[in-house]
Amino acid sequence: METRALSHLRICDFTGQLAGAGATKFLAAFGAQVVRIEDPVLQGRWDILRGIPPFKSGQSGLEAGGAFNNHNVEKLGITLNLRNEQAREVLRKLISVSDCVTENFAAGVLDRLGFGYAELKRLRPDIIYVSNCGFGHAGPYAGYKTWGPIVQAVSGLTFSSGLRNQPPAGWGYSYMDHTGAYYMAIAILMALYHRSRTGEGQWVDFASTEAGAVLNGPALLDYTVNGRPLRRQRSPDSNRSQFPRMAPHGIYPADGEDCWIAVACRDDEDWKRLAGIAGAPWSTDDRFAALSGRLEHEDDLDTLLSSWTCLRSAGETARLLQAHGIPAAPVRRPEERIDHDRNTEAWGLWPTVQHTVMGEVRVDGLPVHLSRTDWSLSHGAPCLGEHNDYVLSKILGYSSSEIASFRAEGVI
């Protein structure tokens, strides 16, 4: 087998959904051996994404979930019925030969399964254990349950996204499931780096609400230092710029049904060029010559600019402004940025993987390239228990007759 950047690492993986599975997907893309454990009795439904839409046309069922596939490419999948003592013994064996145990259950679940940190450490003294949940394993809300939208709401990210005089818009998706997964991957890798220097493992208690709160840093300091909260009159308005200040800065209507163009003038030079291109009566309006004036009259400015952007397609306005070095981009639909964007295509951002049941399917790739040991994604997510034989025989050394009896007795 070809040696990859992380081929030397094995992860005993209980993660699911995106918040956890996204982290181990990243490691698997660089060759880490990620062994995903699923419950055969619940048919893997620890992870609510298993077997739910989107489906490829004509497909459905447990093995056909598009989101599950997207987040679990390149992983091995085994089933272990942990109600059974033999299965628990198999898990102990796997943990003892793993570098890291990962999970994003509610706090305390792995402990109640009998595999809390103390037990993990007993099985492998330098084990790295990374738990990922909304509020962490300690503190008044440790027992609370979350999912992406709740994490975003509590951490301030939902509130900070919205238009003036409108309710919070939130993110329209689980931004903190993605970002929680990124942090979880960072935590795993940093703990591995620490182990490589010191020989010691550790537990990382990751609380995604804390990671989410950190992402509004300058607004937090504006409050703690200047006493200015984001919850105040006429605030927030996230299509306008908060820090640094710019105007015009917004998402404006373009010609066509639900078509929009984002435009930002970073400074007076950007504005002068935009005004010149527009050649409109307002282009020479003195109120708009300097940033302070444009900010003071931002409502008028936005109305006037909208009356110009709505005359043509978002793509045409973007080309016009970009030709003069002014930041502008259409609000791109998924189809536009996935199927008709040479910037993502040339990068190889949407690789096709081969899934045992789904066949060929495209997935999210990685927005990085390493010059010497790059990522690659070619295998789809594992079907339920797809790698039982491989993992139990090749990694854990069970004989084929032992594996057959595990199967017969409902251990796997």
Partner 1 sequence: MSGPLYGLTVVELCDELGEWAGKLLADMGATVVKVEPPGGSRTRGYEPFLHDIRGTERSLWFWHYNTNKKSVVLDLDVEADKATFKKLVADADVLLEDALPGRMAELGLDWLDLEVTNPRLIYVSITAFGRSAPRSGEAFTDLTLLAGGGPAWSCGYDDHSLPPVRGGGNQGSQTACHYAVMSLLVALLERDISGMGQHVDVYAYAANNVTTEAASYTWLVNQQTVQRQTGRHATVHPSTPTQILCADGRYATSGLPPRRGEDFKRMLAWLDDLDLRDEYEQRPFLELGAARDRIDLARISEDPETAAIFGAGRDCVNFIASRLPAYTFFTQGQERGFQVGIVYSPEETMEDPHFRARGFPVEVSHPELGLRFLYPGAPYGFEKSKWSIRRRAPLLGEDSKEVLATYR
Shortest distance in whole angstroms from residue 92 CB to partner 1: 22
| Residue selected from 10, 12, 14, 26 as contacting partner 1 according to rule CB under 8 A | 26
Separation between Cα atoms, residue 194 and residue 68, nearest integer Å: 31
| Piece in contact with partner 1 (CB under 8 A), picked from 78-86, 151-159, 289-297, 389-397 | 151-159
For the CB of residue 101, give the shortest distance to partner 1 in the complex, in Å. Answer: 14
The contact pattern for partner 1, residues 153-172, with x = CB under 8 A and - = no contact, is: xxxxxxxxxxx--xxxxxxx
Residue ranges in 88-127 that form contacts with partner 1 under rule CB under 8 A = none
Cβ-based neighbour number of residue 199 at 10 Å: 9
325 binds partner 1 (CB under 8 A): yes
Residue found under tokens 């330098």: 126
Contact status: 381 vs partner 1 (CB under 8 A): no
CB of 174 to partner 1, least distance (A): 5
Q: Which lies closer to partner 1 via its Cβ, residue 39 or residue 99? A: 99
Site for partner 1 in 52-71 (CB under 8 A): 54-57, 66-67, 69-70
Decide whether 119 or 402 has the Cβ nearer to partner 1.
Answer: 119
Helix or strand run (H / E) with residue 363: none
Torsion of CA 24, 25, 26, 27, to 10 degrees: 50
Please choose, out of 34-42, 75-83, 152-160, 379-387, the segment that lies near partner 1 by the rule CB under 8 A.
152-160
CB of 143 to partner 1, least distance (A): 8
Q: Which stretch, 34-42, 133-141, 383-391, 394-402, contacts partner 1 (CB under 8 A)?
A: 133-141
End-to-end CA distance of the chain: 27
Instruction: Give the interface segment with partner 1, choosing from 203-211, 276-284, 288-296, 390-398 (CB under 8 A).
Output: 203-211
Position 231, amino acid:
R
Can you tell me the distance from the alpha carbon of 220 to that of 149, in angstroms, rounded to the nearest whole number?
20
211 binds partner 1 (CB under 8 A): yes
The distance of Cα 294 from the centroid of its chain, to the nearest Å, equals 36
User: Which amino acid, one-letter code, is at 133?
Assistant: C
6 near partner 1, rule: CB under 8 A: yes
Q: Is 391 in the site for partner 1 (CB under 8 A)?
A: no
Contacts of 391 (CB under 8 A, 6+ apart): 35, 76, 78, 94
Q: Residues 103, 21: contact at Cβ < 8 Å? A: no
Choice from 60, 292, 322, 378 touching partner 1 (CB under 8 A): 322
Q: Which is nearer to partner 1, 295 or 396 (CB)?
A: 295
Q: For residues 81 and 60, what is the distance between their CA atoms, to the nearest angstrom?
A: 25
Site size with partner 1, rule: CB under 8 A: 150
Q: What does the DSSP 8-state code read for residue 383?
A: P
Distance of CA 142 to the CA centre of its chain: 23
Q: Does residue number 333 form part of the binding site for partner 1 (CB under 8 A)?
A: yes
Q: Which residue has the tokens 């030709």?
A: 323
- Window contacting partner 1 (CB under 8 A); options: 89-97, 234-242, 281-289, 385-393: 234-242
* 252 neighbors 310 (Cβ within 8 angstroms): yes
Contact window for partner 1 (CB under 8 A) among 39-47, 77-85, 131-139, 380-388: 131-139
Does 247 participate in binding partner 1 (rule CB under 8 A)?
A: no
- The piece of 82-90, 237-245, 290-298, 387-395 that touches partner 1 (CB under 8 A) is 237-245
- Letters for 254-293 (x = contact with partner 1 by CB under 8 A, - = none) are ----x-xxxxx-x---------------------------
Of 189, 275, 381, 403, the one binding partner 1 by CB under 8 A: 189
Smaller CB distance to partner 1: residue 185 or 403? 185
Distance of CA 206 to the CA centre of its chain: 15
Question: 335, exposed or middle or buried, with CB in 10 Å at 0-12, 13-18, 19+?
Answer: exposed
Return d(Cα 13, Cα 100) in angstroms, integer. 8
User: How do 76-79 and 33-38 pair as beta strands?
Assistant: parallel
Q: Can you read off the two tokens belonging to residue 282?
A: 């307002």
Q: Smallest distance from the beta carbon of 284 to partner 1, in angstroms?
A: 23
The full 3-state SS of 41-89, as one line of letters, equals CCCCCCCCCCCCCCCCCCCCCCCCCHHHHHHCCCCEEEECCCCCHHHHH
Which is nearer to partner 1, 371 or 401 (by Cβ)?
Answer: 371
Nearest of 301, 336, 303 to residue 318 by alpha carbon: 336
Rounded to the nearest whole angstrom, what is the least distance from the CB of residue 44 to partner 1 in the complex? 18
